[in-house]
């Protein structure tokens, strides 16, 4: 099993992935292009770990130990030279990923696993220029990576079986719930399900069926409440397949079938209103800080995780 790992890219996903490895006892080299990016990531990890201490998930000592295991560096070769597993978490630009993989194949140990956190590209696309495709695999963490248990694992026919099994074992070791896809499909599983639901939610909003807060309430206190413990396929079994046949037959023709992002999202993006990252989106955050909203979300995720584990 891995003893030292490297995470390339310290942004939203990268720092969370680094935190998970560090908490599980692994030395983590966290790489980025600029020291300022790394210092911001370190603050994010400290804040996240402090929240786990507050919620009595980890001890103060565990927090300090995890922080000491994370090594910040702007030297790519030094970051990956001794790593058993390397996780790429850079922007979704294929040319950037190809360039990085070329360097990783040059700098990394021959038996190091190279994992991508991509949520956009197929593994066939990722390995197009690879010299050692047998050790490349996708480990798609779900945001926030340090709190959401899911990791989608995607292999290629060229990916070595040993790499797949080692990766699955490692994800379990760091406390994740890995799912190995049997086929490489765009969006994998989670984003396909999420996109289908989002499309219908925005359609209902556009048609004036309900406002955003009411639609979100339906999800949080109805569907999402149930889905936290019983998945959609289980729900069909519990409700009766004959019942769900009638529901789907009756409603499927009525559902939104658009092939692009909703007009409302297009309009807001054009205005620079991107949500929490800019301070306004569908909702206004004028009366509260975005940081406080993120903190509240993470507290709730932590408590849900504790409940599910219990």
- To the question of whether residue 12 is assigned a binding role by annotation, the answer is yes
Q: What pLDDT score was predicted for residue 198?
A: 97
Is 191 among the residues known to form the active site? yes
Exactly one of 46, 55, 122, 191 is catalytic; which is it? 191
Q: What pLDDT score was predicted for residue 1?
A: 55
Q: What pLDDT score was predicted for residue 188?
A: 96
- To the question of whether residue 92 is assigned a binding role by annotation, the answer is yes
Name the residue with tokens 């599980």.
24
The dihedral formed by the CA atoms of 19, 176, 154 and 48, expressed in degrees to the nearest 10: -30
Q: Is 82 exposed, middle or buried (0-12, 13-18, 19+ CB in 10 A)?
A: middle
Per-residue pLDDT tens for 152-165?
A: 999 999 999 999 99
- To the question of whether residue 42 is assigned a binding role by annotation, the answer is no
Q: What pLDDT score was predicted for residue 291?
A: 87
- To the question of whether residue 9 is assigned a binding role by annotation, the answer is yes
Is 122 among the residues known to form the active site? no
Q: What pLDDT score was predicted for residue 74?
A: 98
Q: Tell me the HSE value of 207 on the side-chain side, using a 13 A CA sphere.
A: 11
Which residues lie across from 115 on neighbouring strands?
Answer: 87, 137
CATH topology of domain 191-309: 1.10.1040
Is 36 among the residues known to form the active site? no
Q: What CATH number is given for 4-180 in this structure?
A: 3.40.50.720
Report domain extents, the chain.
4-180, 191-309
- Angstrom distance (rounded) from CA 18 to CA 129: 27
Is 152 among the residues known to form the active site? yes
Q: Where are the beta strands (DSSP E) in 91-245?
A: 113-116, 136-141, 150-154, 177-180
Q: What pLDDT score was predicted for residue 2?
A: 63
Tell me if 184 sits within 8 A of 154, measured CB to CB.
Answer: yes
Exactly one of 88, 116, 117, 140 is catalytic; which is it? 140
- To the question of whether residue 103 is assigned a binding role by annotation, the answer is no
Mean pLDDT value across the chain: 96
Query: For the chain, which ranges sit under pLDDT 70?
Result: 1-2
Q: What is the sign of the dihedral through the CA atoms of 290, 116, 93 and 69? A: positive
- To the question of whether residue 266 is assigned a binding role by annotation, the answer is no
Q: What pLDDT score was predicted for residue 284?
A: 87
Exactly one of 46, 119, 256, 299 is catalytic; which is it? 119
- To the question of whether residue 13 is assigned a binding role by annotation, the answer is yes
Angle, CA of 156, 88 and 75, to the nearest 5°: 140
- To the question of whether residue 116 is assigned a binding role by annotation, the answer is no
- To the question of whether residue 10 is assigned a binding role by annotation, the answer is yes
CA distances from 196 to 10, 95, 191, 258, 259 (A): 30, 29, 8, 10, 11
Buried b (16+ CB within 10 A) or exposed e, 109-130: eeebbbbbbbbebbbeebbeeb
Q: What pLDDT score was predicted for residue 185?
A: 94
- To the question of whether residue 63 is assigned a binding role by annotation, the answer is no
């Amino acid at each position: 099993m891995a003893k030292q790992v490297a995470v390339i890219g310290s942004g939203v996903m990268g720092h969370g992935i680094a935190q998970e490895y560090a908490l599980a006892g692994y030395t983590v080299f966290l790489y980025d292009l600029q020291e300022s990016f790394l210092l911001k990531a370190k603050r994010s990890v400290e804040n996240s770990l402090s929240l786990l201490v507050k919620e009595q998930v980890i001890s103060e000592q565990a927090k300090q130990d995890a922080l000491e295991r994370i090594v910040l560096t702007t030297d790519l070769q030094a970051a990956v030279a001794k790593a058993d597993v390397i996780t790429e978490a850079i922007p979704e630009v294929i040319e950037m990923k190809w360039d990085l993989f070329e360097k990783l194949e040059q700098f990394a140990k021959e038996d190091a696993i190279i994992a991508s956190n991509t949520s956009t590209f197929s593994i066939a696309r990722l390995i197009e220029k690879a010299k050692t495709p047998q050790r490349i695999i996708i480990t798609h963490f779900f945001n926030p990576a340090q709190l959401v248990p899911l990791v989608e694992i995607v292999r290629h026919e060229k990916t070595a079986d040993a790499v797949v099994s080692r990766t699955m074992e490692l994800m379990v070791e760091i406390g994740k719930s890995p799912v190995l896809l049997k086929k490489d499909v765009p969006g994998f599983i989670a984003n396909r399900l999420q996109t289908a639901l989002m499309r219908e939610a925005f359609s209902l909003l556009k048609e004036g069926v309900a406002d955003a807060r009411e639609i979100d309430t339906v999800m949080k206190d109805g569907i999402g409440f149930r889905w936290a413990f019983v998945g959609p396929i289980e729900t069909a079994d519990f409700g009766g397949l004959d019942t769900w046949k009638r529901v789907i037959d009756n409603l499927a023709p009525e559902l939104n079938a658009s092939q692009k992002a909703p007009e409302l999202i297009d309009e807001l993006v054009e205005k620079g209103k991107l949500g929490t990252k800019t301070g306004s989106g569908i909702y206004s955050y004028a009366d509260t800080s975005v940081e406080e909203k993120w903190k509240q979300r993470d507290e709730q995720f932590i408590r849900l995780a504790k409940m599910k584990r219990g």
